[in-house]
Amino acid sequence: MVLVVLRRIGLFAATVVVASIVTFLMLSILPGNAARIALGVQATEADVAAQTKAMGLDRPAVVRYLDWFGHVLVGDFGTSTVSRRAIGPEITDALGITVILVLTSVVLALLFAVPFGILSAVRQRKPDGAILSGISQIGVAVPGFLAGMLLVTVFAVTLRWLPAGGWVDPGDDLGGFLQHLILPAIALGSVQGAVLSRYVRSSVLEVTREDFIRTARAKGLGVGRALFRHGLRNAAVPVMTVLGLQIASLLVGAVVIERVFSLPGLGSLLLDKVALRDLPAVQGIVLVLVVFVLLLNFLVDLAFTVIDPRLRSAS
Partner 1 sequence: MLASLGLVGCSVGTASTGTEPDTSLTVGLLATPGNLDYTTTAGAAIPQALLYNVYEGLVKLDNDGTIMPLLAKSWTVSGDGLVYDFQLNEGVTFSDGSPFTAASVKFSLERVKDNWSANGPAYLDPIAQIEVVSDSQVRITLSKPSNSWLFNMSGPVGTMFTESGIADLATDAVGTGPYTVSSFKTGDSLVLATNADYWGEAPYMSDVTLRYFTDATAQTNALLSGDISLISGISQFQLVDQFKSNADFQVLEGASTGEVTLSMNNAGAAFSDVRVRQAVMYAIDRQAVLDTANSGYGLLIGSMVPPTDLWYDASLADLYPYDPDKAIELLDQAGVSDLSVAFKIPNLPYAVAGAQVVKDQLDKVGITANVTVLEFPAVWLDEVFANHDYDMSLIMHSEPRDATSFAVPSYYAGYDSPEVIAKFAQADAADAATHVELMREATRTMTEEAAANWLYLQPAISLADADLLGVPKNTPSLALDLSTIAR
**Residue 41 is a binding residue for partner 1 (CB under 8 A):** yes
Number of residues located near partner 1, criterion CB under 8 A: 47
- Least separation, in Å, of the C-beta of 153 and partner 1? 8
Q: Is 125 in the site for partner 1 (CB under 8 A)?
A: no
**Residue 210 carries which DSSP code?**
S
Between CA 104 and CA 211 the distance in angstroms is 36
* 240 Cβ contact partners less than 8 Å away, ≥ 6 residues apart: 300, 303, 304, 307
Q: In this complex, which beta carbon is closest to partner 1, that of residue 97 or of residue 132?
A: 97
Q: Does 84 bind partner 1 (CB under 8 A)?
A: yes
Please state, in angstroms and rounded to a whole number, the distance separating the CA atoms of residues 156 and 31.
39
Question: Does residue 24 bind partner 1 (CB under 8 A)?
Answer: no
Q: Which stretch binds partner 1 (CB under 8 A): 35-43, 69-77, 113-121, 237-245?
A: 35-43
Q: Could you say whether residue 256 binds partner 1 (CB under 8 A)?
A: no
Q: Give the one residue of 3, 4, 42, 60 binding partner 1; rule: CB under 8 A.
A: 42
- For the stretch 154-163, contacts whose Cβ atoms lie closer than 8 Å and that sit 24 or more positions apart, written own/partner, are 155/183, 156/183
Closest CA to 112 of 131, 130, 98, 132: 132
Residue from 110, 113, 152, 286 in contact with partner 1 (CB under 8 A): 152
In angstroms and rounded to an integer, the radius of gyration of the C-alpha atoms of the chain is 24
Residues 23, 51, 104, 133: which binds partner 1 (CB under 8 A)? 51
Task: Give contact residues for partner 1 (rule: CB under 8 A).
Answer: 30-33, 36-43, 47-48, 50-51, 82-85, 90, 93, 149, 152-153, 156-157, 160, 162-167, 259-262, 264, 268-269, 271-272, 275-278
